[in-house]
Structure 1
Amino acid sequence: MKSLGKRMKTNYSAIPFKSSSIELQNKPSNEPKQFYVEEYTDEFDEIDDFPLIPEGGGAAAGPEAADAGVPGAVFNLATSIIGAGIMALPAAMKVLGLALGFVSIVVMGVLSEISIELLVRYSVLSKAASYGEVVEAALGRAMRVVSEVCIVVNNAGVLVVYLIIIGDVMSGSSDHVGVFDQLFDHGVWDHRKMVILVVLIVFLAPLCALEKIDSLSLTSAASVALAVVFVVISCAVAFIKLVDGTIQKPRMGPDFSTKASILDLLVVIPIMTNAYVCHFNVQPIYNELEGRSPQKMNRVGRISTVMCVVVYAATAVSGYLLFGDETESDVLTNFDKNLGAHFSMVLNYIVRIGYVLHLVLVFPVIHFSLRQTVDALVFTNSVLDSRKKSLALTAVLLGVIYVGSTMIPNIWVAFKFTGATTGLSLGFIFPALITLRLDKHDKSLTNGEKAVSWLMLVLAVVVSVVGVAGNIYSIQNQS
C-alpha cells in the first residue's frame, strides 16, 4: 500500500460512498473524473495514511501535518464546544423549565453532530481545507465571504465573553464579589479592565501565538478536565441539597406569566444552539488528524458530542437546581455566596478559579480559527506563513477583543445576538445548504439525511428570525 500511496500522491479523486465514506482511486491524468459507489469495509483503513486533502489545499493540508491522534482531536473539538456557553445554560434552563430544557440540550446536540458529519463528508468531497472553502465549493465565492464574516463575528464575540467572565469572576461586579476581593480584600485588582489586560498579556497571548492547533491538544485536555471538575462539584452540591430538601421545587416548563418571560423564551433557543457551534474548527482539526478519514473524524465528532451533551445537561440542571429563579445569566457569578454545604467557600473558590483556568485554555483554540479566517478574508497572500506577520495579526485581534470586552455589559447580551445570527448560520444553516447543494452532483444522501438537512435548515431560519425579532423588541422595551 505504501508504494501505491507514492504513485497516488498527485493524482487521485475523491469518491463518495453511501455510507458517508470517501475512498481514493488511482487515475491517469488524462482520464476524466468519475465517481463510483461501493460498500465500505474496514480493509480500506490501510490507506488512512494518505491525505484526503491535497497539498496546497490550505494550511496544514500536506501529509506531514497529519500528526494528531483521535484523543487529541476529541479534546480540541470538545474544547471548541465547551466554552463560555456552558455558563449561560442554567439561565436558559430557568427560562425553559427543567423538562423542556433537558430535551432541548439533547436535541440540539444530536442535530449539531449530524451537521458536523455532513460537513466532514462534503469537505472531503470538495477537497476543502477550511470552512470557507467548502462553502465556496457549494455556494460560491460571495457566500464564502458571508460565512467567514460569520466566523469572525461569532469567534470574536465568544472570546469577548470569555474575557467578560474572567473579569467578573476575578474582580467582581456591581452585584457580585470577586475572588480577589474575597481573598485579599480591596486593592488594585478591583480594576476589572486592568485584570483582564494582565490575563490577556501574561497567559493568553503566548498560547494564541502557537502556529498549529495540535499544539493545544494538551491544554485542551486540561480545559476539559477543569470543566468536568466544575460539573462534578455543582452536581454533588445540588444532590446534597436535594436530599436535604433545601432546594426549591423547579419549574418543569416555560413561564408565560409575564411579558419579560415570554421575550426570554423567544431568544433562549438561539443561546442553546450557540453552545454547540464548533464547525469552524472541524476542518483544521481534520487536517491534522493522523491517518485522517471521514470515519475517524466522525468518531471524533460523536465522542465529543456525547461528552458535551452530558456536561451541558449536568451543568444546566445542577445550576438551576442550586439557584432557582436567582440564577444569573453567567451562573459562575452565583458562586460568590454560601452554597449551604460543607466547605462551601472552598468549593466556591475551586469552581470559579477552575473555570477561569478552563476559559484561559479554551481561548487559544477559538482564537486559532478566528486568526485563520481573518487571514483568508482580509489578505490575498496568507500572512500566517510569516512568523512576524502572524504575531502582528494575533496582537491586533487580541487588542480588538480586549476593547470589546470593556464595552459589552454581560454575556447574555452577547449570546442572544450571536446565537440568533452567526451561531445558527455556522452550525446549521450553512451545513444544510452545503449538503443539499452538493448532493445534486453527488447523489449520495439517503432520504433520511435529506429530510434531516431540510429540517435543520427550516428550523434554523425560523429560530433565527424569531430570535432576532425578540432581541430587537426586548431592546426597544428596555429603552
Structure 2
Amino acid sequence: MKQTLILLTVVSIFSLYSVHLLLKTANEGGSLLYEQLGYKAFGLVGKLAASGSITMQNIGAMSSYLFIVKYELPLVIKALMNIEDTTGLWYLNGDYLVLLVSLVLILPLSLLRNLGYLGYTSGLSLLCMVFFLIVVICKKFQIPCPMEAALIINETINTSLTQPSALVPDLLHNVTENDSCRPHYFIFNSQTVYAVPILTFSFVCHPAVLPIYEELKDRSRRRMMNVSKISFFAMFLMYLLAALFGYLTFYEHVESELLHTYSTIVGTDILLLIVRLAVLMAVTLTVPVVIFPIRTSVTHLLCASKDFSWWRHSLITVSILAFTNLLVIFVPTIRDIFGFIGASAAAMLVFILPSTFYIKLVKKESMKSVQKMGALFFLLSGILVMTGSMSLIILDWVYNAPGGGH
C-alpha cells in the first residue's frame, strides 16, 4: 500500500511539474498546439515526435475502453439473460461483441465531423468513475476475507466426510493466520515493472492542457495551474482510494482489471451489474471522442493543405478503429497495453517533450539557471524511466508467459 501511495504521489507531482513547463513554453514559444511547439523546437522531427506520441497515447486509451467492453459486456449479457451454460454462444464471446459494438455504435458516432456531445460524455464518465469508486469502497466491507480461506474450508468439508463441523472455526482461524488477509506494504515481482508506466499513462492529460488553456476565460498561467492542481488532486485521490480498497478487498487475488475480479471471485449482484452498465455506456461513448484527436493529427500530418474529403475522413476513421480492435483481440491483457504505452508515449508526453521544448524555446533563461537545470534533470529522469521501464517490460514478455488476468 505504501508502494502505491509513494508512486502515485511522485508521478502526480512530476506530471503537474511537466504541465508547468508546457504552459511556460507555450507562452514563450507563441503556440498553444503541442505539435506546433514540437515543430518550432525541432522542425519536422519534433512535430512527428509530438504527433506520434499523442496518437499512441490515444490509441492506448481507446484500447483500454474496448478492453472493458470485451470483458464486461459478456458478463452483463449473461447476468441479464440468466445464462448458465455459455458454451458455443457467439454473443457471449468478447471478441465478437467488441467488433459488433465498434461497427454498430462507435463507428457511426466517430464518422461525425464535430463531436458536440464531448461535454456530456466527459461528465458521464466522471460520474461513472465516482459511482465505481463508491461501490469499490462499499464492497470492501461486504466481501469476507480471505476468499482463499473459504475455498479451503469448502474443499476440506467436501472431501472429508468425517470432518467435525465444530472444527470449522478452528480451521478458519488457522487459515486466516497466513498472509491471505495481511496487506503487504511493498511488493516486488514480475508485475511491478508495469506500475510506473501504468501510473504515468493514467496522469497524461498534456495534449488537452493547451486547448483548455486557450479556451479559458481571463486566461493566465497561474489560473490554469490552479485548474491543473485541483484536477490532479481529484484524480490522485480517486486512483488512491480505488487502488487501496480494491487491494484490501482481494489482496493477492486482485486482477489487472479490478471490476472483473468481482465476477471471478464473488459473482455478480445487482449493484455490480448497474456499475457495469454505467461503465460500458461511458466508455462506448468516449471512444469516438478519443478517435477525434487521432484523426485530426493524422489528417494534419498527411493532408494538411487539402480540402475536407468524406472518403479520406471515413478511411482514416475505419483504419484507426480497425487497428485498435486488432490490438484488443490479440493482445493478452490490458496491462500489456497500459505498460507499453505508458513506458513509451506517456513518458514522452509527461517527461521528455515538455522538458526538451522548455530547454529549446525558453530563451530568456540561461542553461545555468535553476529553471533550466530543473528541466534538464526532469529530462534525464524521463529518459531513465522510459528506457528502464521498456527494458523490464520486454524482459517480462520474454521470460514470463502471458498471465491469465484481464
Q: Settle same-fold status: TM greater than 0.5.
A: yes
Q: CA deviation at 1:404?
A: 2.4
Residue number in structure 2 paired with 1:367 = 291
Find 1:236's aligned residue among 138, 144, 159: 138
RMSD: 2.9
Q: CA deviation at 1:317?
A: 0.8
SS at 1:442 equivalent? coil
Q: CA deviation at 1:216?
A: 0.3
Find 2:391's aligned residue among 445, 462, 469: 469
Q: Distance in 1 between matches of 2:223 and 2:292?
A: 22
Residue number in structure 1 paired with 2:2 = 99
C-alpha distance after superposition, 1:149-191 (max 9, x if no partner): 22222221321222122111112xxxxxx22122212444213
Q: Distance in 2 between matches of 1:444 and 1:114?
A: 19
Q: CA deviation at 1:382?
A: 5.3
Residue number in structure 1 paired with 2:151 = none
1:221-370 paired onto structure 2 within 5 Å: 221-239=123-141, 248-255=181-188, 261=189, 263-337=190-264, 339=266, 345-370=269-294
Q: CA deviation at 1:388?
A: 5.7
1:69-80 paired onto structure 2 within 5 Å: none
Residue number in structure 2 paired with 1:220 = 122
| Structure 2: gaps (5+ residues) | 147-172, 402-406
Contact 1:220 1:361 in 2 (8 A): no
Is 2:106 the partner of 1:204?
yes
Higher helix share: 2
SS at 1:409 equivalent? coil
1:403-422 paired onto structure 2 within 5 Å: 403-422=326-345
Residue number in structure 2 paired with 1:142 = 45
Contact 1:105 1:272 in 2 (8 A): yes
SS at 2:238 equivalent? helix
Q: Distance in 1 between matches of 2:306 and 2:205?
A: 23
Q: CA deviation at 1:230?
A: 0.2
Q: How many residues align?
A: 365
For 1:431, give the aligned amino acid. P
Residue number in structure 2 paired with 1:190 = 92
Q: CA deviation at 1:472?
A: 1.9
Contact 1:214 1:288 in 2 (8 A): no
Find 1:159's aligned residue among 62, 73, 79: 62
Q: Distance in 1 between matches of 2:130 and 2:287?
A: 17
Q: Distance in 2 between matches of 1:395 and 1:253?
A: 44
For 1:364, give the aligned amino acid. P
Q: Distance in 2 between matches of 1:211 and 1:445?
A: 44
Q: CA deviation at 1:387?
A: 5.5
SS at 1:328 equivalent? coil
Q: CA deviation at 1:389?
A: 4.0
Q: CA deviation at 1:478?
A: 3.1
Q: Distance in 1 between matches of 2:201 and 2:345?
A: 8
Q: Structure 1 residues 267, 138: CA separation in 2 closer, same or farther (over 3 Å shift)?
A: same
TM-score by length of 1: 0.69
Q: CA deviation at 1:99?
A: 0.6
Q: CA deviation at 1:240?
A: 5.2
C-alpha distance after superposition, 1:260-309 (max 9, x if no partner): x1x32233211211111121222333344445443443333222212211
Q: CA deviation at 1:318?
A: 1.2
Q: Distance in 1 between matches of 2:248 and 2:185?
A: 11
Is 2:13 the partner of 1:110?
yes
For 1:199, give the aligned amino acid. V
For 2:355, give the aligned amino acid. A
Q: Structure 1 residues 130, 241: CA separation in 2 closer, same or farther (over 3 Å shift)?
A: same
For 1:269, give the aligned amino acid. V
Q: Distance in 1 between matches of 2:102 and 2:340?
A: 24
Q: Distance in 1 between matches of 2:367 and 2:110?
A: 39
| Structure 1: gaps (5+ residues) | 1-97, 172-177, 256-260
Q: CA deviation at 1:218?
A: 1.8
Q: Structure 1 residues 468, 122: CA separation in 2 closer, same or farther (over 3 Å shift)?
A: same
Q: Distance in 1 between matches of 2:115 and 2:357?
A: 25
Q: Distance in 2 between matches of 1:445 and 1:356?
A: 49
TM-score by length of 2: 0.81
Q: Distance in 1 between matches of 2:116 and 2:274?
A: 28
Residue number in structure 1 paired with 2:316 = 393
Q: CA deviation at 1:403?
A: 2.5
